[in-house]
Amino acid sequence: MMKPVIETQDVVKIYHDGSIDVHAVNGVDLTIAPGEFTALVGPSGSGKTTLLNMIGGLDKPTSGRVIVDGTQLETLRDNELIDFRLRKIGFVFQAYNLIPVLTATENTEFIMLLQKRPKEEREARAKALLKEVGLEDKLNKRPLELSGGQQQRVAVARALAPKPAVILADEPTANLDSHSTANLLDIMARLNKEEQTTFLFSTHDQRVIDRARRVVTLEDGKIISDESFDR
């Protein structure tokens, strides 16, 4: 049986709002196998972004365990967690989070630069990925010279560049039109198959849900359904 790349065990996240305890995530058990293309869905406040943030090591559970690529995240010290995220997790945010003064190539290289990869390796990987996402003619363009859809494609290339164990995407299509969304999903689905990278989305977007091969629905911090599709 294939070892899971993501596993949450009875994960709980409680926020304190004055005298009230809010269970944002309430006893979630979730297992994601390598190479899956999964969407976390549910209404606002269902806990999907909170769960995604805990899987990404951006937040810590109140109780329970989060295991990514064999490492239990809550056992790591802060500096170890930063290093783990750098090596193992790629992030795609709805706000793109590109560095304005860097070109598309430099933005794509950035995580590899932090990893101290050799310059030739960084450049070759960045250019190959930007070609994969259809931006081979935009290598030297800065974010403000790119459309929203193009910026999001750079963000996907940056996330894939260091070959992480998993890519976490929080509402990655929220700011994109229908054409850009379809294009981005085509790219991510193709790269998922070609590079066998695991994708986990948090989304409200039906267009993303319709392309996911697994849809996990949360409500009030709990998983209420988990469906797989042959797509």
The answer for residues whose C-beta is within 8 angstroms of residue 222's C-beta and 6 or more apart is 26, 27, 28, 47
pTM: 0.91
pLDDT higher than threshold 80 for residue 34? yes
pLDDT in tens, 154-212: 999 999 999 899 999 998 888 888 888 888 899 889 888 888 889 999 999 999 999 99
Q: What is the pLDDT of residue 89?
A: 95
Contacts (Cβ under 8 Å, ≥6 apart) of 69: 5, 88, 165, 166
Q: In the predicted model, is pLDDT for residue 39 greater than 90?
A: yes
Q: List domains and CATH numbers for the chain.
A: 34-60+76-228 (3.40.50.300)
Q: How confident is the model at residue 1 (pLDDT cuts 50, 70, 90)?
A: low
